[in-house]
Amino acid sequence: MDSAVSDAAGVSRYVDTDEGLQSWQTDRTRAPISTKIVVAGGFGVGKTTLVTAVSEITPLQTEAQMTEASEETDDLTDTPDKQTTTVAMDFGRITLDDDLVLYLFGTPGQQRFWFMWDDLVRGAIGAVVLADTRRLKDCFPALDYFESCGLPYVVAVNHFDGSDVYEPEDVREALTIPAHVPVILMDARRRISAIETLLALVGHALAETPE
């Protein structure tokens, strides 16, 4: 399994190590597996940032310039510098091991684009629900959606500069997340942090999947 280390010049690189990994990550007899993962959450919570940070290919983005027409529906109070928004999906790919490739699909956050979710989620093994502690209520629609359709998910609390840091269990209580669902603190801008979140989801999805 690859993990990131920094060399003497401070450049991150990957080295092969099995230390601290679960059995499904170290079983070299498995056939190559391609899996689909959905990245969801509210408006401006960091979905595009996460997909861009981890994708080993140039990510497909459907970003549109925000205009005055959206002023009454898109709340920019906590993201005043945001100028574009996803109107269809984000798409990226990352190879986590010799036999594990993840295809990432980022959903649009605004309610007017929710009609696309059923198509984007079809065939996925699980979802990452991004949350911003300044506006936790924005992730409720995604949580309700995945709970209702039975898709395994993890909650990833994306830390924004200047926002308060809360313990995972505090976030779990505030969102009434079931005890078996992982709640993770992460930074969507940092590739390693995002990869750790994806690994947590894959492990959780496998644990939730019947033999």
Assess if residue 26 is contained within a domain: no
Residue 200 is assigned to a structural domain of this protein: yes
Confidence label for 162 from pLDDT (cuts 50, 70 and 90): confident
Question: Range of 52's domain?
Answer: 31-208
Q: Is residue 21 part of a domain?
A: no
Lowest mean pLDDT among 40-54, 63-77, 112-126, 132-146: 63-77
Name which of 95-99, 120-124, 172-176, 177-181 the model is least confident about.
95-99
For residue 158, tell me if it sits in a domain: yes
- Give the CATH number, domain containing residue 89: 3.40.50.300
The CB-based long-range contact list for 208-211 (8 Å cut-off, 24+ gap) reads 208/126, 208/152, 208/180, 209/125, 209/152
Total domains present in the chain: 1
Q: Is 23 within the bounds of a domain?
A: no
- Within a domain: residue 19? no
* Mean pLDDT value of segment 27-41: 78
Q: How much of the chain is in helix, strand and coil states, percent to nearest 5?
A: 35, 30, 40
